[in-house]
A and B are shown apart, each in its own frame.
Chain A
Amino acid sequence: MRENPRLLWGAASPRLEVVKPVDGAAESSHRRGARVFSLMALTLGLTYLIWLGRLVFASRGSPDIFFFAAETLSYLLLCLLTYSTWRLRGHRPGNPESEVRLSVDIFVPYCGEPLEIIQTTLKAIRRVAYHPLKVYVLDDAASPAVAALAQSLGFHYLSRPREGLPRADSKSGNLNFGMSRSCGELILVLDADQVPASEILNRLVNFFRQPNVGYVQSKQAFFLPEGDPFYNSDKVFYETIQLSNDQANAVISCCSGVVYRRQALQEMGGFASWNLLEDFTSSYELASRGWRGIYYPHALSRGLAPATLAGVYRQRFQWCLDTMRVFFWDNPLFKSGLSWLQKTHFLIIMMSYLASGLVFPVFYTIPLLVYLRGQSCVLGDELAYGVLRGAYLLATILMFRYLFFGKEPLRQFKMLCSLFPVHALAIVAALLYPPGRKPAYRVNNLQPFASQGSWWHLAPHLGFIALHVSLPVLALWQGWGEPRLIFFNSIFSALIIWIMGDLVLAVMIRPRWRPAMDPRQVYE
């Protein structure tokens, strides 16, 4: 079978490119800076909140109370982030190649993705240098071509539909099905599009020398267009948050590129299946049962990321829905077996979704109300507001700069802000779907090569932008409020336009691919 020369770790580069450790002095400097600016941001934030609170409570009954609540929630998120990243180390020491030889099963769940996708993945799996190893293709689409492909590569082919079994619990059900038909001590889960490095197991299995390690998650990497318009690389999460999660033993499983200890899964009764996806919930459950989770901060597989806004929406909706269902129905604060540090780390993810879905829309709406009403609790104190809020914002930016150095935190922030419609819907859906009921799972990469922009998905953003552009002009024209207040408020509007502009441009501009990163060329 022909090898694809464009694969990052194809035959031409058999050795894994391990990311060089961060320079110790630089890391220490960044950590110090992050701590200093974290404390500064928290102090300035508290000062600002006290000042704002006095104004808001003095103007009772005004919508500013929502503004204050939104600011308070944001501040709380900042507190959690500071607490959870206080002992952050920028680099986890690399793991030597495996010395233990535990038997490993590789599960490749399949649910109707294009054949070339899974074909590329399976070919890459064939190059994985590890023994004893068994590969299971778990075909929920009952595709003869996939069956033929698996057999041609010498892999085990399992299919629930073919065996007359229902496709219950989607992917997690499929994995559990595979688990029931296999016996390896470890299980590596690879999505159909996740092309693994040949050394993936050699790098990850050795962690299981420690008997309390339940799962090891490797960093996720994707084939992305130039500029990564939807910030799918999510460096903030994969290169910082997960590292801090690792230190708190609250590593979040990311669906793919993750190795589980069968014993841990069996203790749990298999992959967690009450959510749409098994990843977050399984790692959450394992952590609560005392299993150790390890995060391996280097990419050992690379896969597809949504290239359209619709795909991003679908993916993030599912992530948010799963996370928020845990938040509402199995909240970490009340979860037995988790330490406070673990609870905090799991909560940060949930709080960030809450902030995006509920808090940010308030920030977008309040300035519009100010234009319409001509009133604000900061009326007459705009300069004081500008100074206090500006100082708080500056300290936060500096904190992020040091904490997420080189991880493009600004883009992460803008993406989180821009995905508010999806997150808001997911939060509502999470409330509507208690355990026992869950919405239908939709496969993400059924059309992985689509790149057509979908404008109607931008309707909320364009609506907000239109309002933020037009209302200040109207307010000035009609004299709805003090020109000074309108002008100051328009700075907020400009900020919102700036934040949402990224996403609008991402949809507007056709992505450009470098050949090595173009899925059309990689998956062939």
Chain B
Amino acid sequence: MSRSWRWLIWLLPLLFIGAIFGFAWSQDHDFWRSTHSFHHAAQEAASRGDRTGALELARKAWTRAPNNFAYGIFLARLYLDAGQFKEALEISRQLMDRDPGPGALMIHAQALDRLGNPKEALDKLAWYLQRQPDDRSILANAADIAGRHEDYHPLAATYYQQLYGLDRDPQVRRQLVKLLASLDRYKEAIPLQEEEVAEFSEDQEALRLLALLHYWQRDYQVASDIYQRLLEKGAENSGLRLDAAKAADAAQDRDRALSQYLWLYARHRGQKEYDLPLARLWAQKGNHAEAAGVLAPLMQQQPDQELRRWYALELLLIGDLDKAQREYHKAWEDGDTHQETIINLARLYARKHRFTKAAGLWDEASRRQLIKGEMRWEAALTYSYARRYQDALEIIEPLRHQNSKIQNCCYFPGNFISTKSIGARRRTIFPPTWNRILGTWRSEGNWPRPYLLIPPPGIRP
């Protein structure tokens, strides 16, 4: 062959390679990079938190290889994470059109959910699960989506139960327990949590959750016992001890509750969270002096009316009437118009023969329609000492019609009337009578019901 032509043999292939290079470069300046490298770089960018960069690279990979499921799913996930749900939905649709496999379906469902269409998302997942009921990823996805919406919590619980039935994964079990607890389905949650405790016997949090579940299910005694076990290892944990105290309290195990609260009181003196239940427990046990002693320091902390009223009552019950009167008065001055404050303050004023002031308080009580039943004759009595006989008669009048058997109701009107006529004797007769009655009530603990306004357990903190 002629040498003059030999150069063509070398030149043409080189020109050809150059042309292909140029063409490829004109189409994509990054053509020399493999699609896989784009995908890999996108993954790295995503792991660095560079979402924008990751999206751009993942988009390139997907554009180059639109048939590659892994690239499509990764891009759709990035869109989901970036909040671009419509884009994620579009890609997932393309993937689903080719192969409605679980990967694409999950993205699709999540995108639908984020776009505010959880029903369609869950319907699609349910459709798939009818055919593949044991598909873990789809079950997990469905449970996750349903779990995000309160309306679908029962459905979420069902999915989690199915999922847990497949491989008894502890993570799934924990989710399921939380979900069941939120649905007040403690009976189902407790056995699962017991499995958790059995499996992770050293996990104190698992045991604590079990105690809580029992507590919520009102198995207070069981809860209390579990807390006792927990306290063996976490005796210095105040939160745990508080829970234990509450459980014991709820289980009516006052001694155990009291011991827990006392522990807390000793370490956190002056904190209402611990002091108030302790005071209440002391009061419930009839140890009002202890109750008052616990409450007293709280009075330095600008107590609310209710707390002050309670403290005053405890003082009243231990017979420290002056202090009680002072506290009720402060309460009254602070604007406390509770029946207990008004009436007990009236009584305490009457006890000190300040009948006018006492009668004024009864007026307040009457105006607020707080005087009912047997209180009327007491008010009447006070009115009579205050020489407001007419008011006394008026206040007692309903009683006379309602219950003629009450002798006092008959007796006092007569007295009032006679007192009215024998005015000189009233001071000598009635005060001793009043004092005697009060003394009898106090000694026998037989206060008329309206005056024992100890709040029910649910009202006090």
Contacts and interface: CB of A to CB of B under 8 A. Distances in A.
A502 interface: yes
Contacts of A497: 12-13, 16
B20 A476 contact: yes
Contact of B20 (A473, A498, A501, A509): A473
Nearest to B65: A482
Contacts, number: 82
A127 interface: no
B17 interface: yes
Given A487-B31, A490-B16, A493-B16, A502 B24 contact: no
Across chains A and B, which 5 residue pairs bring their CB atoms closest together, nearest first? A483-B31, A494-B13, A227-B1, A490-B20, A380-B36
B21 to A, nearest CB: 6
A482 B30 CA distance: 11
A435 B9 CA distance: 42
In this complex, the member of A469, A483, A498, A501 whose beta carbon has the largest number of chain B beta carbons within 10 angstroms is A483
B1 A487 contact: no
A512 B5 CA distance: 13
A502 B23 CA distance: 26
A476 B24 contact: yes
Given A473-B20, A476-B24, A482-B65, A495 B34 contact: no
B24 A486 contact: yes
A476 B65 CA distance: 13
Interface of B: 1-3, 5-6, 8-10, 12-14, 16-17, 20-21, 23-24, 27-28, 31-37, 64-65
Contacts of B34: 379-380, 382, 482, 484-485
Interface string A487-516: 100110111011001100110010110000
Contacts of B5: 505, 509
The majority secondary structure among interface residues of chain B is helix
A486 B33 CA distance: 12
Given A229-B1, A484-B31, A512-B2, A472 B20 contact: yes
A502 B3 CA distance: 12
Contacts of A511: 1
Interface in A456-492: 469, 472-473, 476, 479, 482-487, 490-491
Contact of B1 (A469, A476, A482, A506): A506
Contacts of A473: 20, 23
A226 interface: yes
Interface of A: 226-229, 379-380, 382, 469, 472-473, 476, 479, 482-487, 490-491, 493-495, 497-498, 501-502, 505-506, 509, 511-512
A505 B33 CA distance: 36
B32 A227 contact: no
Contact of A491 (B17, B33, B36, B64): B17
Contacts of B20: 472-473, 476, 486-487, 490
Contacts of A495: 13
Contacts of A512: 2
Nearest to A493: B16
A498 B10 contact: yes
Nearest to B67: A374
Contacts of B12: 497-498, 501
B8 A505 contact: yes
B27 A226 contact: no
Given A469-B16, A506-B1, A487 B21 contact: yes
Contacts of B17: 490-491, 494
5 contacts: A228-B1, A476-B24, A483-B31, A484-B35, A494-B13
A482 B35 contact: yes
B2 A494 contact: no
Contacts of A506: 1
A98 B346 CA distance: 159
A497 to B, nearest CB: 5
A498 B23 CA distance: 20
Contacts of A229: 1
B27 A476 contact: yes
A478 to B, nearest CB: 11
A505 B35 contact: no
A498 B35 contact: no
Given A472-B20, A490-B20, A505-B6, 19 more contacts: A226-B1, A227-B2, A228-B1, A229-B1, A380-B37, A473-B20, A476-B23, A482-B35, A484-B24, A484-B35, A486-B24, A490-B17, A495-B13, A497-B13, A505-B5, A506-B1, A509-B2, A509-B5, A512-B2
A476 B24 CA distance: 7
B322 to A, nearest CB: 93
Given A501-B8, A509-B2, A487 B16 contact: no
A399 to B, nearest CB: 22
Nearest to A502: B9
